Amino acid sequence: MNKKLYIETYGCQMNVSDTEVIFAILAREGYTRTEEMEQADVILINTCSVRDNAEQRIWGRLEQFGALRKKNEGLVVGIVGCMAERLKDSLLESRKVDLVAGPDTYRSLPAMLRDIRPGAPQIDVRLSRDETYEDITPVRIDRNGVSAFISIMRGCNNVCSYCVVPYTRGAERSRNAHTIVREACDVFHKGYKEVTLLGQNVDSYFWKGPEGDVNFAGLLAMVAEISPELRVRYSTSHPKDISDEVIAVMAAHENICRHIHLPVQSGSDAMLEKMRRRYDRAWYLDRVAKIREAMPDCSITTDIIAGFCGETLQDHQDTLDIMRKVGYDYAFMFQYSERPGTLAARHYPDDIPPAEKTRRLNEIIALQNTLSLESNRRDIGKEWKVLVEGDSRRDPGQLCGRASNNKMCVFDKPKQGAALRPGDYVRVRVLSCTSATLICELI
Ligand code: 5AD
Ligand code: SF4
């Protein structure tokens, strides 16, 4: 059998990593990957439920695939991932899909695909307590061959009141540390120079091994010690859990990148309490101070939600204030979107009018643009190591790559000597910047 498989991925990095697991599971069954959906025998959409607009986009996409299904009767269209978990029944009732598979059921995809018959769609959305896909070697779908995602845990045990993830991805479980280290070694030997360890809340990683327990700090050290030439990144930290030990392990390893994604969500204690984040402003600012003390060059990025239930103008000001105090290097910023079934949906009215949410979000975005620009300006004149990722998108005469602090750097290709390739490390000096990019020269 040679069936062609096309997968479209939405949502977080974890979903990209899951798509790589799905490709691996189906490759064993003879499926080959295609990037042309018109040529596919099977189309899977790996979905996200985190905000309503993410789900609306996917419903729109299903309409488009409907047209393809009319042209090609044998075409299978499936929904996998978070939205499959959340909307199983309405997806089946829509008659737009032949398969619905939740995030813990990817091992049954071959059997489900085999059993699809006209009028008999396949569904499996059972969540598991122990599935981590630890023995599966993902088929990497990145283009540059430089940077790989490695999933270290699945699910989430926090119950942030706005968040659908605990319901779509189930309970938290950590993957065997040795299989993580083996996968990191394997990608390094294949030429990758950077791994990003992924989990919803990496700080609560905990694996009980025969030779002793491994926590996240221990895991980070194990991966970092594979080679000084292998960069290590991770995402996402939870401010309530990020430990002094993790910060110390980062500081002690030059190849653990100087970047922490530390979602604050709000700068108001009242909102943080309602969001059930289990930290307050003072605690958060103390963690930031600790990070800065150990690693003055560490960039800090965040996620922010504007217009959560009952958010007053003062709460909103508190968010702007904490953004200024921390001076974030970058932020992902969202309007609150009520998710059915969450604690917030059950207990608090979604009472900030949409136009006001947008106004607050725009204020947050405008401030972050200023902060990003200020942060980049502070870097002018600095010299640092960059991992080349490839040609710059804007100018084929330039290369791009990231500094340890995750900032994107662009610089002219060398005029003489050997050409630089993706995966090479170079030293650059920062000459100027925009709010998104550092313009550098090779030194
Ligand atoms: N509405 C808006 N943003 C949300 N996020 C999670 N749930 C919601 C929601 N219901 C944001 C948070 C989280 C990021 C992945 O998505 O900021 O950190
Ligand atoms: Fe979206 Fe969250 Fe699921 Fe990732 S875990 S796909 S962000 S809902």
Coil, strand or helix at 232: strand
Number of residues written out for the chain: 443
Å from CA of 164 to ligand 1 middle: 9
The model's pLDDT over 145-188, given as tens digits with 9 standing for 90+, comes to 999 999 999 999 999 999 999 999 999 999 999 999 999 999 99
User: Quick one: pLDDT at residue 242?
Assistant: 97
User: Quick one: pLDDT at residue 142?
Assistant: 80
Å from CA of 55 to ligand 1 middle: 13
Predicted TM-score (pTM) of the model is 0.96
**Which ligand 1 atom minimizes the distance to the CA of 163?**
7
Domains of the chain: 4-124 (3.40.50.12160), 142-257 (3.30.750.210), 267-378 (3.30.750.200), 383-442 (2.40.50.140)
The model's pLDDT over 279-336, given as tens digits with 9 standing for 90+, comes to 999 999 999 999 999 999 999 999 999 999 999 999 999 999 999 999 999 999 999 9
**Which ligand 1 atom minimizes the distance to the CA of 337?**
1
The model's pLDDT over 337-363, given as tens digits with 9 standing for 90+, comes to 999 999 999 999 999 999 999 999 999
**Which ligand 1 atom minimizes the distance to the CA of 303?**
17
Q: Which residues line ligand 1 (CB under 6 A)?
A: 50-51, 162-163, 263, 265, 303, 305, 334, 336-337, 339
The model's pLDDT over 215-256, given as tens digits with 9 standing for 90+, comes to 999 999 999 999 999 999 999 999 999 999 999 999 999 999
What count of Cα atoms within 13 Å lies in the side-chain half-sphere of residue 118? Answer: 3
Alpha-carbon distance 152 to 440, whole Å?
34
Give kind and range of the element (H or E) at residue 53. helix 52-71
Q: Whose CA is nearest to atom 13 of ligand 1?
A: 303
Q: Which residues line ligand 2 (CB under 6 A)?
A: 11-12, 14-15, 48-50, 81-82, 164-165, 168-169
Å from CA of 84 to ligand 2 middle: 11
pLDDT mean over 36-44? 96
**Which ligand 2 atom minimizes the distance to the CA of 156?**
5
Q: Are 285 and 242 in contact (CB under 8 A)?
A: no
SS3 letters across 406-443:
CCEEEEECCCCCCCCCCCCEEEEEEEEECCCEEEEEEC
Coil, strand or helix at 207: strand
pLDDT mean over 45-61? 96
Cβ burial of 118 (10 Å; 0-12, 13-18, 19+) is: exposed
- Ligand number nearest CA of 14 is 2
**Which ligand 2 atom minimizes the distance to the CA of 54?**
1
R_g of the chain, CA atoms, integer Å: 22
Q: Are 113 and 82 in contact (CB under 8 A)?
A: no
